Amino acid sequence: MIPLCPMKLKSSLENYVFILPAALIFVIFYLIPFTWVFHLGLYEWDGISPTRVFVGLANFKEILFEDRIWWASMRNAGYITFIALTLQNALAFMLALACDRQIRLKNFYRVLFFIPPVLSEVVVGLVWQWILDGNYGLLNSWLTSAGFGSLARSWLSDPATALTTVAIVHCWKGFGWGFLLFLAGLQMIPRELYEAARADGANGWSCFKHITLPLMMPVAVLVAVLTILGTMTGFIMIHAMTNGGPAYHTQVPVLRILASMMPPFSRFGYACSQGISVGFVLVALSFIQYRFFLLRRDSAQEDT
């Protein structure tokens, strides 16, 4: 019975030639590390020694109740995320509205706004660190020559300003990305809707309120979720600008994970537990946001 269908056998083997490379790479370099994190999080291990000590949920207990720097880093990331959600996304939305009109040089602006997002975080971090330098930075030099010399300071090493400065640089890097998505969303709104509303005597503001805003809600939720995910896990720019300093004022979760893993701590299990903790928060947050949005949309549909 074996030679029943050699053609078919050959054919299904050939199918695996297509999928095997992707499946192998995916399993080895994504799936195994991903699942392994949950396993390693239960151990105390330095990453090198042949034996690791099973500690159960002790790592998570330590994160929750003892690791004050971890909580400070979560708070900092929360603060940066809040600034990104408000300042960055509001700016992105306003720019998108401005560029959605019949306006000259539209494409020119569009090209420029997306330059910060294509630059690497290392480049952005190091350039801004130089501009914000307390002694020789461009910003302080401009402030002084504009007569605001009293405002000049070491933006990144002054505990009072470090976190906000880092957050603003984050917004600088990210607003062009939000702008792009908002603009794509605005351009999907059918022009006829506005024309019809105008014909019925609606003014600019009521067009905005009753057409633009409701139709842009899905895009806004998407941008918000992605902003949260991106900002809470972002750390490279901060790594380049302050590396968490001064005195933990700009620490963020992934910087802590990295610190736990590297010497002198070398606590691989603890680093994994930290990763799981922040991953859990992120999944929960984006889930809540989607649910909230879907609920609102459903009830809005019932109203109409």
Partner 1 sequence: MRTRWFYKIQRIGIDTLIHLFLIAVSASCILPLGWMVSSSLKTQETVFADMSFLPRELHFANYILAWQEGGFGRYFLNSIVYTVSAVIGIVVVASLAAYAFSRLRFPGRKILFVMFVAAMMIPLPGSFVALYVLLNKLHLRNTALGYILCMISVGLSMSIFLLKTFFDKLPRELEDAARIDGASKLGIWWHVAMPLARPVLAVVVVFNALNVWNEYVLALIIFDSKALMPLQRALMVFRGEYLTNYPLLMAGLTITALPIILLYLLMQKYIVKGVTAQATFG
Which is nearer to partner 1, 118 or 303 (by Cβ)?
118
Task: Report in angstroms the alpha-carbon separations of 75 from 99, 250, 269.
Answer: 35, 10, 23
Minimum distance between the CB of residue 95 and partner 1, rounded to whole angstroms?
6
Least distance to partner 1, CB of residue 279, Å:
4
Report DSSP letters for 245-291, one per residue.
Answer: -STTTT--HHHHHHHHHSTTT--HHHHHHHHHHHHHHHHHHHHHHHH
Q: Which residue, 2 or 105, is less far from partner 1 as judged by CB?
A: 105
CB of 302 to partner 1, least distance (A): 25
Query: Which residues lie across from 53 on neighbouring strands?
Result: 44
R_g of the chain, CA atoms, integer Å? 25
In the numeric block, which tokens belong to residue 219?
Answer: 């895009």
CB 189 within 8 A of CB 211: yes
Long-range contacts of 27-30 (CB under 8 A, 24+ apart): none
Cβ distance to partner 1 smaller for residue 59 or 249: 59
Bond prior to 264 in cis (omega within 30° of 0): yes
Question: Shortest Cβ distance from residue 37 to partner 1 (Å)?
Answer: 5
CB of 188 vs partner 1, minimal distance in Å: 11
- Closest to partner 1 by CB, 123 or 160: 123
Q: Which two tokens stand for residue 304?
A: 């109409």
Contact 115, 176 (CB under 8 A): yes
Measured from the CB of residue 124, what is the shortest distance to partner 1 in angstroms? Answer: 8
Phi-psi region of 53 (alpha: psi -120 to 50; beta: other; left: phi over 0): beta
Q: Which of 190, 218 has the CB closer to partner 1?
A: 218
How far apart are CB 304 and partner 1 at their closest, in Å? 25
C-alpha distances (whole Å) from 186 to each of 36, 182, 208, 211, 216 are 42, 6, 11, 10, 7
